[in-house]
């Protein structure tokens, strides 16, 4: 995996008497895009806040860019970018002015191989706010304000970017542009990105790896493809035969379809093969976990 940007071992967090994180383990490497999924209240935001140094964990070992976040200094903080769920109020500022102003904070932290901050006009183009550069942020639409949030998060060219539900409120076009942006940031800038989302199609498109947090632990860790194949190896074949609809679940869809067509060379129409989606997989994992059917270790080893 190369250089570890995030290293989390046996992380625990207790609020009062409630154990929210009960031994979370995962790592993320340079340039990796990792999606953290889990039901409401699973502890995703808590985990991210600990990684940012905003919350001190009850126990466990956490290293972010080689540093314990609870002891991170300004130079360390300058290498992180954060896009939170809630809109921070910058309503009096115009877009370009605000980004230019925030960018200045990062100037002392530039290195020979990473100029900081982002050039303001390049940044505005990157997030697609050219037409709104001189508008007050209070006048932006919800989706445009979210783009401004993203611009604020990356203005310092972070090595590690946290995105908490980044595309909530985006229209499909803005969402696709945002996905392209995430890929560019990880490919061209080598940025490691940790994002939370409840949109599984988004996680599948964006993430190299998916972590599922439930019951205070990571219950699955793998590429979207690995997760789908290991949780449900079966595909569903659907077809119409002499006007009647049929469905068959099989481990070997190709073999089944071959036999089906050989047996009935005519009379078969509307043939479809459906693999389980990440959403099916996710729901199966969380259900298995909640109903106690799966041992945590067993699923985590997928």
Ligand X SMILES: Nc1ncnc2c1ncn2[C@@H]1O[C@H](COP(=O)(O)OP(=O)(O)OP(=O)(O)O)[C@@H](O)[C@H]1O
The residues of the shown chain that bind ligand X, judged by CB under 6 A, are 15, 20, 38, 40-46
Taking the complex as a whole, how short is the minimal distance between the CB of residue 72 and ligand X, in angstroms? Answer: 20
Taking the complex as a whole, how short is the minimal distance between the CB of residue 42 and ligand X, in angstroms? Answer: 4
Q: Which is nearer to ligand X, 50 or 78 (CB)?
A: 50
Q: Which is nearer to ligand X, 44 or 90 (CB)?
A: 44
Using left for φ > 0, alpha for ψ between -120 and 50, and beta otherwise, residue 10 falls in left
Q: Which is nearer to ligand X, 20 or 283 (CB)?
A: 20
Q: Which is nearer to ligand X, 47 or 186 (CB)?
A: 47
In the chain, which ranges are E strands?
A: 4-15, 18-29, 33-37, 59-64, 80-83, 160-164, 192-196, 209-214, 217-222, 235-241, 244-250, 268-274
Q: Which residues of 206-232 are buried (b: 16+ CB within 10 A; e: fewer)?
A: bbebbbbbbbbbbbbbbebeebbeebb
Long-range pairs, 267-273, Cβ under 8 A, ≥24 = 267/241, 267/242, 268/239, 268/240, 268/241, 269/239, 269/240, 270/238, 270/239, 270/240, 270/245, 271/237, 271/238, 271/239, 272/237, 272/238, 272/239, 273/235, 273/236, 273/237
Taking the complex as a whole, how short is the minimal distance between the CB of residue 15 and ligand X, in angstroms? Answer: 3
Taking the complex as a whole, how short is the minimal distance between the CB of residue 296 and ligand X, in angstroms? Answer: 17
Half-sphere exposure of 253 (CA within 13 A, CB side): 15
Taking the complex as a whole, how short is the minimal distance between the CB of residue 271 and ligand X, in angstroms? Answer: 39
Positive or negative torsion for Cα 22, 160, 148, 117: positive
Rounded-to-integer distance, Cα 53 and Cα 62, Å: 10
Taking the complex as a whole, how short is the minimal distance between the CB of residue 189 and ligand X, in angstroms? Answer: 26
Q: Which is nearer to ligand X, 41 or 142 (CB)?
A: 41
By CB neighbour count within 10 A (0-12 exposed, 13-18 middle, 19+ buried), where does 242 fall? exposed
Q: Which is nearer to ligand X, 42 or 299 (CB)?
A: 42
Taking the complex as a whole, how short is the minimal distance between the CB of residue 206 and ligand X, in angstroms? Answer: 17
Q: Which is nearer to ligand X, 40 or 111 (CB)?
A: 40
């Amino acid at each position: 995996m190369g250089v570890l940007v995030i290293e989390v071992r046996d992380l625990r967090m207790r609020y009062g008497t409630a154990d929210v994180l009960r031994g979370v383990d995962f790592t993320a490497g340079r340039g990796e895009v990792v999606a953290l999924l889990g039901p409401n209240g699973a502890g995703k935001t808590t985990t991210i806040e600990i990684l940012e140094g905003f919350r001190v964990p009850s126990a466990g070992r956490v290293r972010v860019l080689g540093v314990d976040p609870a002891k991170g200094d300004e130079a360390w903080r300058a290498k992180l970018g954060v896009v939170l769920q809630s809109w921070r109020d910058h309503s009096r500022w115009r877009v370009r002015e605000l980004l230019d102003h925030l960018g200045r904070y990062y100037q002392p932290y530039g290195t020979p191989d990473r100029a900081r901050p982002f050039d303001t006009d390049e940044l505005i183009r990157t997030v697609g706010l050219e037409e709104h550069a001189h508008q007050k942020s209070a006048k932006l639409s919800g989706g445009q304000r979210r783009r401004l949030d993203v611009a604020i998060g990356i203005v310092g060219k972070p090595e590690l970017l946290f995105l908490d539900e980044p595309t909530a409120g985006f229209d499909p076009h803005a969402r696709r542009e945002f996905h392209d942006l995430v890929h560019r940031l990880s490919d061209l800038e080598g940025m490691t990105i940790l994002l939370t989302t409840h949109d599984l199609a988004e996680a599948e498109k964006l993430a190299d790896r998916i972590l599922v947090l439930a019951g205070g632990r990571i219950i699955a860790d793998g590429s979207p493809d690995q997760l789908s194949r290991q949780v449900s190896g079966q595909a569903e074949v659907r077809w119409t035969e002499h006007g009647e609809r049929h469905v068959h679940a099989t481990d070997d869809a190709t073999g089944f379809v071959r036999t089906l067509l050989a047996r009935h060379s005519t009379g078969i129409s509307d043939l479809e093969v459906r693999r389980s989606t990440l959403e099916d997989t996710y729901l199966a994992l969380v259900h298995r976990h909640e109903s106690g059917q799966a041992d945590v270790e067993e699923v985590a080893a997928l």
